[in-house]
C-alpha cells in the first residue's frame, strides 16, 4: 500500500477539526443535496445568521464547502474535493448522514422552507 504524501497528511487534520462540531455536521447534512442560501440554513437550524455564517466560513477554510454570492445572499454547497482520501472521508460522512433520522428530518424541513 502506498504511503500518503506529507501534503495529504497536512490536509486531513483541518477536515477532521471541521467535522468535530455538531453544528457544522448539521450544516453539511443540509448542504448534502445541493446549494442552499444561508437564510434557509439559519431558519432550519434555529440559529442566528451570523453564527451560521461563522460555521460556514470554518467549513470553507477547511475546503469542505464552496460559496457563491447572488446579490446580497450567500449560497453554499459541498466543495469538489480533489484529494481521494478527503473524498472518501466525505463520501462516508454523506452515507452516514443519509441514514441518520434526525438529520433526515432537518433535510425535510429545509425542503419545506427553501424554494
Please name each of the domains of the chain with its CATH number.
6-113 (1.10.10.10)
Whether 77 has a pLDDT exceeding 60, the answer reads yes
Percentage of residues in the chain with pLDDT exceeding 70? 91
Would you say residue 10 has pLDDT above 90? no
The CA–CA distances, whole Å, from 99 to 23, 29, 53, 71, 95 equal: 18, 11, 26, 35, 7
Residue 115 has a pLDDT of: 56
Computed over every residue of the chain, the mean pLDDT equals 91
- Are 86 and 63 in contact, with CB atoms under 8 Å apart? yes
Question: Looking at the predicted structure, is the pLDDT value of residue 86 above 90?
Answer: no
Cβ neighbourhood burial of 48 (10 Å; 0-12, 13-18, 19+): exposed
For the entire predicted model, the pTM comes to: 0.88
Cβ neighbours of 114 (radius 10 Å):
16
Burial level of 41, CB count in 10 A (0-12/13-18/19+)? buried
Q: Calculate helix-pair angle for 22-31, 101-113, nearest 10 degrees.
A: 60
42 contact partners, CB below 8 Å, separation of at least 6: 48, 49, 52
pLDDT of 28: 98
pLDDT tens-digit map of 24-52: 999 999 999 899 999 999 999 999 999 99
By the 10 Å C-beta count (0-12 exposed, 13-18 middle, 19+ buried), 101 is classed as exposed
Amino acid at each position: 500500500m502506498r504511503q500518503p504524501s506529507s501534503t495529504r497528511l497536512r490536509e486531513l487534520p483541518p477536515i477532521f477539526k471541521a467535522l468535530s462540531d455538531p453544528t457544522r455536521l448539521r450544516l453539511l447534512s443540509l448542504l448534502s443535496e445541493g446549494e442552499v442560501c444561508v437564510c434557509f440554513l439559519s431558519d432550519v437550524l434555529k440559529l442566528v445568521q451570523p453564527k451560521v455564517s461563522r460555521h460556514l466560513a470554518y467549513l470553507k477554510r477547511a475546503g469542505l464547502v464552496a460559496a457563491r454570492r447572488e446579490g446580497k445572499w450567500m449560497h453554499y454547497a459541498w466543495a469538489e474535493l480533489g484529494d481521494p482520501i478527503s473524498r472518501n472521508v466525505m463520501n462516508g460522512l454523506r452515507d452516514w448522514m443519509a441514514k441518520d433520522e434526525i438529520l433526515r428530518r432537518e433535510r425535510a424541513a429545509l425542503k419545506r422552507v427553501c424554494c
